[in-house]
Structure 1
Amino acid sequence: MSLLSRDLSRIITLLYPCFIFCLFNNVVVTFSTTEFDFGTLTLSSLKLIGDAHMNNGSVRLTRDLTVPYSGSGKVFYSQPVRFREPGTHSPTSFSTFFSFSISNLNPSSIGAGLAFVISPDDDTLGSAGGSLGLLDDKGLAMGFVAVEFDTLMDVEFKDINGNHVGLDLNSMVSTQVGDLSAVNIDLKSGDLVNCWIEYDGLTRVFNISVSYSNLKPKDPILSFSLDLDQYVNDFMYVGFSGSTQGSTEIHNIDWWSFSSSFESNSGSVPTSSPPPPTTNLMNPTANSVKSPPPSLAPSGSDSIASTTQKSSKSSSCHNQLCKQGPGAVAGVVTASAFFLAIFAGVLIWFFSKKYKNVKKSESFASEVIRMPKEFSYRELKSATKCFNANRIIGHGAFGTVYKGILPENGDIVAVKRCSHNSQGKNEFLSELSIIGTLRHRNLVRLQGWCHEKGEILLVYDLMPNGSLDKALFEARIPLPWPYRRKILLGVASALAYLHQECENQVIHRDIKTSNIMLDEGFNARLGDFGLARQVEHDKSPDATVAAGTMGYLAPEYLLTGRATEKTDVFSYGAVVLEVASGRRPIEKDVNSGVGAKGGGVCSNLVEWVWSLHREGRLLTAADARLEGQFDEGEMRRVLLVGLACSQPDPLARPTMRNVVQMLVGETEVPIVPRTKPSMSFSTSHLLLSLQDSVSDCNGMITISTSSSENDFNGIDHLV
């Protein structure tokens, strides 16, 4: 028997008793009860909006920043909850328990706060500041019932202080307010605070209790009557909202449980409890253990494990069915048999599809080295919000890069989605097979990969400070000189590893500032190996299709198509001059330098620095935005290293290991001639014509070449 047949047989055997039970007990499911908690929710059961994100299993509503910031975020349970009984408009009874903390890296900065929210929609994000993300930019309410925990005394909203709890009904002016100082709660302390909110649909009583302890206080801080029917629809969403107002306040939801039921109208109120006391006692200041973060199950299942739907019928329905005679029984049996046949068909289709995908994935995996982890397409689609355009953070060689939040653990990653063509797949295979074997502190770390549904995806660590080109040209504050030196040294170290320390030499072929990423400490991480090639050490490379970006390409590479470690060295030299001067390798309309005549003429950075060196004015190339805040000896050394790497003759260029030694001062920079040496190729004039003909000075080019140095087959411009 095949594996598929055995699985189907096993599943049908397990489900058959359940089917028979449902058949003869005539089970009818109603949606009167909803129960869930952080311990059993899947991440797909939570909807994160705005600045909200996962952090070590808990939910943070606002960003983790060390500088003042104004922003807002929300998290909702993804399924709507019934709040009114059909036909009667009787409101549900509900109970919720949650643990939260509010901390501030700069206690003197202004806060804002957070709120438990009942909302008619789960898509709208309100503005930052005192509105807690509940009002739009015009200060208009979007319809909500909220219990706020406010750390900002806002006169506009008639707040009593900056440490209170209040009930908000479609307005930030609270109808009920409690001073948390009266129960010795300080929202800004950073300690874990526990809250119980209960509403009885029969008595219309609303209770709010707050404590540091895991035990609910005997008396609530607020207790009042509320006709919830006036403020809710039949179905509403439940969750949390938080905001900051020019502050570094962090809002963390560590635990959440919720229960609702219409059964309270017959005498019982649903309860929503803290986690088990043996492991989940709340407040560390109360000699107890902090509650665990939400245990998020893998997103491979769409089921909400903790949502229960209770029956409104008893087992006596079996007797009623029998009393209706054999005709009714035959009808039910026929319908049930039909249902079982459909169910079996669906199972067969599902498992055949599943095994087909597994086989396809294994076939693909045989083409590459097994990576640290193989992600599912569903995980990465969820992580990037269906590859939302708002999540795009860059474009690499033959692919687009998205910011993603992994459902399994909340880690923030960069997901590279490769182009849907044969070339894109080839580049993907190349990148995966090469970088998967590399380990260096100055290389972007690959977390894993995915190949499903015709998609090929790579998952990397996300670099919080973006790419080097953005830090150089788009940041409001110029990148300081010490950071620039550290970055150049890091890239040199990475290239020395690739060229001379790997088992097989790796030629990157696309060294440029946009492929150099910066981590949280502004350390360089070289990435995007889509164009990289592996060769055996000391083996002459074959001529291929030359590819790269104008201004970074070595002249011999343009002419021969042969990529060597020396072509990488030339590209690195262009990066060095770019970082030191604050100018791109190819620029339009530069007022000083070779060929700067306006009208869109492209100026070559390497040529310009050579001309300054010839005139004895090398330091003039230093970035004017640094305002002289650098050591002149270091700057001169770095510029000379850049020129040494940019020598037209590849044999005159240093190795990357020598470059590292030069940058740290272990060896002197070789003498760089004042006048740029002429090219040794007889076709040098073709290179000049090529550079003058580039229509997009910063575009990527691909040049098809033969093994003959003098034979150009064509040129394509790729933006």
Structure 2
Amino acid sequence: MAPILHLLLLLPMAAASSPGTFSFDFGSLSIRNLTLLGDSYLRSGSVGLTRDSGVPSSSSGSLLFNLPIPFIDPSSNVSASFFTRFSFSITNPSPGSSGDGLAFFVSPHNRTLCNPGAFLGLFNASSPSTNLSIIAVVFDTRSGANHVGLNIGNPVSIKSSELSVFGIDLKSGNAVTVWIEYLSDEKRLKVWAGYSSSKPEKPVLSASFDLSRYFRELMYVGFSASTEGGTEVHTIESWSFRTFGFPAIDAHKQTFHNVSNGSWSVFPARPVVDAGKSSHKTLALGLGMIGLVSFGAALIVFAFMLLRKRMVSREICGCSKRVTLKGLRQFRYQELSSATKGFHVSRIVGSGAFGTVYRGVDPQTSMTFAVKRSKKTHQSKNEFLAELSIIAALRHKNLVQLQGWCTEKGELLLVYEFMPNGSLDKVLYNRTDSGLSLALDWTQRCSVAIGIASVLTYLHEECDQQVIHRDIKTSNIMLDAHFNARLGDFGLAKLLEHDESPVSTLTAGTMGCVNPICTERPSMRRVLQILNYEAEPMVVPRLKPSLTLTSNAPLVLQEIVLDCYESQVSSQVR
């Protein structure tokens, strides 16, 4: 029975690829099949390659497929052709502070980064010859650059092309889809790029170059990026890869794998059959068996998907029933779709790794509310359940209050009270949706700090269980009509008993206001001492300092606050 089930699971994959190929396709990235190096991190099905700190720093990170891929057949010395498709985005909180860009690479090794923080994390400028086997397609943003290039073993491209000619701006923050194809028999590499999911007719780069000279029998594929003192954030959204055009791989030396969010597989060539010994009867029997097995496999896959969907629906409905007594409303999908004009792009007020937030207006009552639409991923489902179950029981003046939810049509929707002044980060950095410049005076800033401290005291000490938010940052702090601070986004929150140590509950979101210099961050012992009132917490000044200095040097929030406090104390002494 076990061999038959094994065959049933393998057949759908084998039908999707030709013999002698190696392929994988990840619509959503998972740590199960990837290796993350340096500063790279996984968040909601995407991989960030560099730190999302918002301040200039030298950060670099790499993402590799776990296993080496055959690029040369040792028996015939024939090299493979390959094709890859991926989507990425490059965002920059400080447009004047650029990074290096990112690169797709093929390498004979999976070791750590060569030059952390610079040269895309791939090359050593001082000794480029040590990395001559690294083949990279580079998307360069250094010093205002906006081009794609082919690099072999060093940071200098052997051929490049300006992307602005094709209407592409790498630093726009928009998702860019890239297709790369190398044909071994033609010895030509082509690169296409665009903002849509359809491959353009004209490539942005075409290079006649024999890459097989740098191939090894087994190679690793992946991505790498660096900032070199900038603030760029590089994110890989999806990735597929396959090799083709070289002789078969021995089936006894390979294993087959199938994973939930993508698959990778190696398929051996079909054996050559002597035509004199074959017969129509054998062929008909073989085709009949294949058809029967395919039908059985399709039934198994359909049953699995149906069962999984029902389990998810029951889990969400069970959670919904538990919170019904808390006074929340279960909205209908049609209500929320009508209130957001069909989730139109003009109604978007915020977006992130969790999904998108829309402004909704009830056509009957004219009441305005915010609708959080989560992405349709397993991680988003977990965050939806966590947020629904945790925040539904919380009541505090400095919390964004949850009003209801909706799980119809496979959607995961949460309805919150609308915050007209948006998030704190947009107000601080003049990025409000209305285009108006909203400046917070010193009293309002102090009020925001006190409000967040108040709600954290409530979450940590006054609830039946400790609620550890784990993602405190300015984009998750909202401002109501009177600029009062409201804490939101509890998708990463955890519940702890009051006698349970919070040491294992680390920060799960972005770096936010954390000091980018790791050696200057307080130790966990120091943090626990502050939480237990055994050490002095960081001072928050109540008055605006009498002396303000500006500098082009990188600044740290803790240093700024201490400078402001010391300036205020000095003015009072005088």
TM-score (norm 1): 0.40
What is the TM-score with the length of structure 2 in the denominator?
0.49
